[in-house]
Amino acid sequence: MQRKWSIPGVTMVSVAVLTAGLSLADEDEGPLHKLMEKVNAKSTAIKKAVRTPVAYKKAQAKDEIVKNGEELLKLAKEARELSKEGVKKAKEVKDPEKKWFELMDALIAQTEKFVAVAGNSETKQKDASSAFRVVSQRCTDCHNIFRIEEEDKF
């Protein structure tokens, strides 16, 4: 984001409040965290779209699944570059950065596969759902190693 604070209406007070809010959020929410939230939103949208034949048909008609899949792919590639931040979460991992890239590449490869599967009009909901289950497994693979507490809906 490249917002410039040149807007005349912005007073010192609101800038101060904003800055305080930002530094609070920064304590445990770095760029990776924010990116993961976006990753999660796309992943949740896809999960819903592949869950039932009816949902699948509807989402496919709007070309939603491939679009979300491609966005997920883009986000995963961005997250891959945040290895420096990611490895801070690693515990007892040998060569954590290498492991990070390995796990991200596995996620990226499977997401690419999923996009191809969903992009094929012959694909049945059941098969799209299975392909995405493997994507979700790649998420868990990394969270396990980098010791992220799995909350609920991965």
Residues found near ligand HEC in the complex (CB under 6 A): 30, 32-33, 36-37, 39-40, 43, 86, 89, 100, 103-104, 107, 135, 138-139, 142-143, 146, 148, 154
What are 3's two structure tokens? 């917002």
- Comparison of 36 and 59: residue with beta carbon closer to ligand HEC: 36
CB of 54 to ligand HEC, least distance (A): 24
The count of C-alpha atoms lying within 13 angstroms of the C-alpha of 93, restricted to the half-sphere facing its C-beta, is 20
Q: Whose Cβ is closer to ligand HEC: residue 107's or residue 131's?
A: 107
Shortest Å, Cβ 111 to ligand HEC = 7
Our CB check for ligand HEC shows the closer of 33 and 98 to be 33
* Residue nearer to ligand HEC on the CB measure, 43 or 60: 43
Closest approach, Cβ 3 to ligand HEC, in A, equals 23
> Which residue, 57 or 83, is less far from ligand HEC as judged by CB?
83
Q: 127 with 117: CB under 8 angstroms? A: yes
Residue 107: CB minimum distance to ligand HEC, A: 4
Q: What's the min distance (Å) between Cβ of 6 and ligand HEC?
A: 32
